[in-house]
Amino acid sequence: MPAEITNEVAERLRGLREACDVTAEGLAATLGVPVETYAGYEDGSVDIPISALYKVVSEFNVDMTELLTGKTPKLDTYCVVRAGQGISVDRYAGYEYKSVAFNFLHRKMEPLIVHLDHGADNPDKKLVTHSGQEFNYVIEGALRLTLGKKDIILNKGDCCYFDPKIPHGQSAYGQNADFLTVILE
């Protein structure tokens, strides 16, 4: 995320944790990260992985939009997000999420358009886990979905529905890739 947004999310994270009377050590344990890493989340020096954001919103029963923007979603009948719009969350260079239902109140799923640059890779090579279920659909390019110890190549038009409690990660395969991921709670 850009530094300004990272700092704003970090402030909201710290405020939320303090308002809920949870220690930094306790939330670090919930997220499964060292206290030093969590401290980096709160001071804005470490980008917060999307999987950690999902655990935070689940733990504190808040909406992802509120954590990312500080605004409460308002719509409860439908939500239109025009092409190129949405809330962007950058994990690292070449990997961008765009929330495309951010203004719908009480979402039971989180649809995101993800852009992956070919050659950009998760710098820590860490796979993530989270609750719920997940669906990936390739819009453009090709995607390598690592699911546990297995790599699955998905091309334009291919999809995979899986249990995200299995360690997983995605990377562009041979070219840039755009895909829809839907995370169901």
Residue 1 has pLDDT above 50, yes or no: no
- Which domain does 124 fall in, by range? 87-184
Model pLDDT for residues 7-59, shown as the tens digit of each residue:
888 899 999 999 999 999 999 999 889 999 999 999 888 878 777 888 898 88
Whether residue 91 sits in one domain with residue 172: yes
9 versus 172: which is more confidently predicted?
Answer: 172
By the 10 Å C-beta count (0-12 exposed, 13-18 middle, 19+ buried), 102 is classed as buried
Model pLDDT for residues 75-94, shown as the tens digit of each residue:
889 889 888 888 877 666 67
Give the pLDDT of residue 75: 87
Residue 171 has pLDDT above 60, yes or no: yes
Q: How much is the average pLDDT of 120-138?
A: 80
The CATH number covering residue 158 comes to: 2.60.120.10
Is 175 inside any structural domain?
yes
Three-state DSSP at 155 gives strand
